[in-house]
Amino acid sequence: MARTFKAFSALLTYPTKEIQEAIPEIAVAIDQEALLSTSMRRQIDVLLGEIAGGDLYDLQERYVLLFDRTRSLSLHLFEHVHGESRDRGQAMIDLKSQYEKAGLEIGATELPDFLPLFLEFLSTRPCAEAYELLGQPVHILSAFAERLRKRHSAYEAVFRALVALAAAKPKIEAVSALLAEPDPDATDLAALDAAWEDAPVNFGPAAANSCKDGLIERIRAGRRPAPGVATAAPRRAIPGS
């Protein structure tokens, strides 16, 4: 089992005071396993420092702009594979079943393709199996790294590290296809509206996966408590290859 994946899961979770306080513990977990090269470890240090020492509200705003408002950086992996198609629903069911067979129970409002949750699952598996599973979305992770590089974001380091650890390496054509899709700046409201333009209305089971509902689910899922990090008393809130 690789605690490094659990550490990365925490780093990609919506920033909270608890996450900030857990940064030293996260750093120790990464160092103890020593799965990363020296240069990659230095890059992760930049992100660790930003989260530990940054203003919490600024960190949260940055996270929302990157991963909630920017569709091309959505941390819900199946969106980059299935979009809003019916296939996404079945893929969700299959992945949730895989989690449950491994003993990982998830909440009713949690989507199984949320990357921090997927990384938490990988942290429970033998390293060889985890690397193999990580290879399945590796082209998505590689595209994320490139988009974050363009934005000069320290989050790039986590995705570079995940690509390096994956058993399979990204195929250039698959990454290029993803990078060819629209990638608007989160502050460009007109471009964002176009990127999030509602697809035709679906009735039946697929209706729950509309773009608007999906955005709400992403924002709420981003606030999922980081695995292994103590959380404050729950507050009343509305629950969302």
- Does the residue 230 lie in any domain? no
pLDDT in tens, 168-189: 999 999 999 999 998 877 665 5
206 or 9: which leads in pLDDT: 9
Radius of gyration of the chain from its Cα atoms, rounded to whole angstroms: 17
Measured CA to CA in angstroms, residue 220 lies from 15, 122, 146, 173, 216 at distances of 13, 22, 25, 33, 6
pLDDT in tens, 219-238: 344 444 444 444 433 332 32
**Res 241 pLDDT > 70:** no
CB under 8 Å to 146, separation ≥6 — which residues? 175, 179
Q: Considering its fold, how many domains does the chain have in total?
A: 1
pLDDT at residue number 92 = 84
- Does the residue 20 lie in any domain? yes
- Does the residue 229 lie in any domain? no
pLDDT in tens, 7-33: 999 999 999 999 999 999 999 999 999
pLDDT in tens, 128-173: 999 999 999 999 999 999 999 999 999 999 999 999 999 999 999 9
**Res 5 pLDDT > 80:** yes
Residue 176 to residue 145: CA distance in whole angstroms: 13
202 or 34: which leads in pLDDT: 34
- Does the residue 121 lie in any domain? yes
High-pLDDT (> 70) share of the chain, %: 74
Measured CA to CA in angstroms, residue 164 lies from 49, 54, 72, 107 at distances of 22, 27, 21, 30
- Does the residue 235 lie in any domain? no
Of 184, 186, 211, the C-alpha closest to 84 is 211
- Does the residue 238 lie in any domain? no
DSSP 1-64: --HHHHHHHHHTSPP-HHHHHHHHHHHHHHHHHT-S-HHHHHHHHHHHHHHHHS-HHHHHHHHI
- Does the residue 157 lie in any domain? yes
- Does the residue 76 lie in any domain? yes
Mean pLDDT of the chain, nearest integer: 81
Q: Supply the range of the domain harboring residue 199.
A: 3-219
